[in-house]
Amino acid sequence: MNDLTADLLARLQNGIERKKETVLVPNTKMNVEILKVLEMEKMIVGYNQTDDGIDVELMYDGKEPVISVLKRVSKPGQRIYIVSKDITPVMNGRGIAIISTSKGLMSGAMAKSKKMGGELICKVW
């Protein structure tokens, strides 16, 4: 398995579809940074690093999940870079884009406000 970010997104998507409370994902620096952005944007309750990996606590609004789609954009075979003026709202502002900038991972709105571009990792809504 080479793309651990796609694995993280797939595990979260599968956990949401199965209405799980928590999902276990591999412990990597990139996964921790993505989870920090999701937690900051109130899309997950939180996460806990353990010996086995990272326990991610999913957020639900009643019985409906807060996250419905996690879409990988930039892949190892084809990197997608974006400048700050080209960052657009995801799903008319209902979702977020996660961008890897020179100052670390951040949401698209935060990167646009700081006038920073970078690699478009994924879109979540």
Note whether 59 and 8 are same-domain residues: yes
Note whether 76 and 119 are same-domain residues: yes
Note whether 110 and 80 are same-domain residues: yes
Note whether 57 and 110 are same-domain residues: no
Note whether 41 and 80 are same-domain residues: no
pLDDT digits (tens, 9 = 90+) for 15-32: 999 999 999 999 999 999
**DSSP run (H or E) holding 118:** strand 118-124
Note whether 9 and 60 are same-domain residues: yes
Note whether 58 and 82 are same-domain residues: no
| Residues spanned by the domain of 55 | 4-65
Which among 99, 92, 101 has a CA at the least distance from the CA of 125? 92
pLDDT of residue 1: 64
Residue ranges of the chain with per-residue pLDDT less than 70: 1
pLDDT of residue 93: 93
Q: What backbone phi and psi angles, to 5 degrees, belong to 30?
A: -65, -45
Of 24, 49, 65, the domain-final residue: 65
Number of domains in the chain: 2
